[in-house]
Amino acid sequence: MDTIEKFNQHVMGTYGRLDIVLDKGSEQTATAEDGKEYIDFGSGIGTNSLGYCDEQWADAISAQAHAIQHTSNYYYTKIQADFAAKLCEQTGYNKVFFGNSGAEANECAIKLARKYSFDKYGKDAGRNIIITLVNSFHGRTLATLSATGQDVFHNYFFPFLPGFVNVEANNISDLKAKLAENKGKVCAVMFEFVQGEGGVCPLTQEFVDAIFEECAKDDILTIADEVQTGIGRTGALLTSKLFGVKPNITTLAKGLAGGVPIGACLADEKCCDVLTKSTHGSTFGGNPLACAGGSVVIDRVSDPQFIAEINRKAQLFRDKLAEIDEVEGVDGLGLMIGVRLKTKKAADILAKCADNGLLILTAKNKLRFLPPLNISDENIEKGMQILKNILDN
């Protein structure tokens, strides 16, 4: 039985997969079982932020595996303390809760926001509504699916969790109207600065400013879902810095630990002590291997020189895309790139790219690139040549 046959016989068919079995990787290149090599512009949906098997990162994780790989959260570990301290110091937050995924980070944010209002205003006040945006994506658990503002996700699994109201992204009057309709009942507004799965759609500065102004008026918490946009992806450690705002809560996951499972919910001084003993938990949360990987990522990404290189490479991508006739326009920030095509279908192009040794992603009807943050100029150029040959033929 070959790998794909064995796989499909035993693993639930929840994903649409290409017929490629990836076996190993180095820097920005993945190698398949059959020896074929692929330049990777997707990096495992933005998780392999330092590329495949970065030496410093792999050494840190294997050293940690030889020291202590896991312990329950009944005890302390130095690696979790060190990583949490670095993460808080670099992001400007007071405290963190660690989980294992983006959905889990967002679950924590949802619980935190509801408990913040419960503690302060009481159960009877019913301040439990969280405003999220149309076309958002916050995860696959029932709560985060309920938060997700896309109807296609609200199927099969009824009943969904109540208490989420959707506002159209970049529509300030809709935001104000929904806040007014639910006055005194809203505990938080949750949003992505750039909607990733929704099609690489950035919020406008005006809309972001309006969220913060409106929330400040009524003690409503701001929650930035930076699961995809965070940790250097958009050309700053956090995208909130590019918008000049400081959300009460920021969630992180994908790229945070360079490709091992992690989720983090960061909270500011206003709400960092809301989740008290026994109100939340996660067996694997703060796992030493994940913290070891995350420590290497944070050290690298918090170097201003590394961030400057992300922005230079982001421009190189845009320059190369401008040379392709079929490209109608480019959306996104930094190395979170969405490409609008004039006539061709994104899904067809993704398949053709793979045939020609380039792995990309799509989001809605756009091509999407989330390359490793340290991708080489050479691999950007090689990958873009493959893309140009496909698009302009």
Please identify which residue in 42, 99, 102, 332 interacts with ligand PLP, judged by CB under 6 A: 102
Smallest separation (angstroms) from ligand PLP to the CB of 49: 14
Stretch that binds ligand PLP, among 149-157, 220-228, 284-292, 385-393 (CB under 6 A): 220-228
Q: Does 224 bind ligand PLP (CB under 6 A)?
A: no
Q: Specify whether the backbone of 45 is left (phi greater than 0), alpha (psi in -120 to 50) or beta.
A: left
Q: Does 196 bind ligand PLP (CB under 6 A)?
A: yes
Q: DSSP code of 192? A: -
Q: Does 255 bind ligand PLP (CB under 6 A)?
A: no
DSSP codes of every residue in 218-243: TTPEEEEE-TTTTTTTTSSSSHHHHH
Smallest separation (angstroms) from ligand PLP to the CB of 142: 13
Smallest separation (angstroms) from ligand PLP to the CB of 383: 22
Smallest separation (angstroms) from ligand PLP to the CB of 243: 16
Please identify which residue in 197, 214, 268, 326 interacts with ligand PLP, judged by CB under 6 A: 197
Do the beta carbons of residue 169 and residue 132 sit within 8 Å? Answer: no
- Fill in the per-residue mask, 46 to 85: x = in contact with ligand PLP (CB under 6 A), - = not in contact: ----------------------------------------
User: β-pairing, 37-40 with 358-359?
Assistant: parallel
Please identify which residue in 228, 295, 362, 379 interacts with ligand PLP, judged by CB under 6 A: 228
Q: Does 243 bind ligand PLP (CB under 6 A)?
A: no
Smallest separation (angstroms) from ligand PLP to the CB of 136: 8
Contacts for 33 with CB less than 8 Å, ≥ 6 apart? 3, 21, 22, 23
Residue at shortest CB range from ligand PLP: 102
Do the beta carbons of residue 100 and residue 263 sit within 8 Å? Answer: yes
Do the beta carbons of residue 187 and residue 218 sit within 8 Å? Answer: no
Please identify which residue in 27, 107, 225, 326 interacts with ligand PLP, judged by CB under 6 A: 225
Do the beta carbons of residue 373 and residue 348 sit within 8 Å? Answer: no
**Site for ligand PLP, residues 110 to 149, rule: CB under 6 A:** 137-139
Stretch that binds ligand PLP, among 95-103, 277-285, 339-347, 376-384 (CB under 6 A): 95-103
Smallest separation (angstroms) from ligand PLP to the CB of 225: 5
Contacts for 278 with CB less than 8 Å, ≥ 6 apart? none
Q: Does 108 bind ligand PLP (CB under 6 A)?
A: no
Stretch that binds ligand PLP, among 87-95, 224-232, 266-274, 306-314 (CB under 6 A): 224-232
Stretch that binds ligand PLP, among 4-12, 179-187, 205-213, 222-230 (CB under 6 A): 222-230
If one counts every other C-beta atom within 10 angstroms of the C-beta of residue 100, the result is 20
Smallest separation (angstroms) from ligand PLP to the CB of 105: 8
Q: Which is nearer to ligand PLP, 254 or 300 (CB)?
A: 254
Smallest separation (angstroms) from ligand PLP to the CB of 324: 26
Q: Does 107 bind ligand PLP (CB under 6 A)?
A: no
Residue from 227, 263, 230 nearest 333 by CA: 230
Smallest separation (angstroms) from ligand PLP to the CB of 285: 13
User: β-pairing, 366-369 with 336-341?
Assistant: antiparallel
Do the beta carbons of residue 326 and residue 392 sit within 8 Å? Answer: yes
Stretch that binds ligand PLP, among 66-74, 96-104, 341-349, 370-378 (CB under 6 A): 96-104
Q: Does 240 bind ligand PLP (CB under 6 A)?
A: no
Q: Does 266 bind ligand PLP (CB under 6 A)?
A: no
Distance of CA 125 to the CA centre of its chain: 33
Q: If residue 367 lies in a helix (H) or strand (E), which one and from where to where?
A: strand 366-369
As a whole number of angstroms, the distance between CA 248 and CA 237 comes to: 16
Helical spans, DSSP H, in the chain? 3-10, 43-46, 55-67, 78-91, 102-121, 142-147, 172-181, 205-217, 239-243, 288-301, 304-322, 346-355, 377-391
Q: Does 335 bind ligand PLP (CB under 6 A)?
A: no
In degrees, rounded to 5, the angle at the alpha carbon of residue 43 between the alpha carbons of residues 88 and 382 is 130
Do the beta carbons of residue 265 and residue 105 sit within 8 Å? Answer: yes
> Using CB under 6 A as the criterion, which residues of the chain lie in contact with ligand PLP when the complex forms?
101-103, 106, 137-139, 192, 196-197, 225, 227-228, 253-254
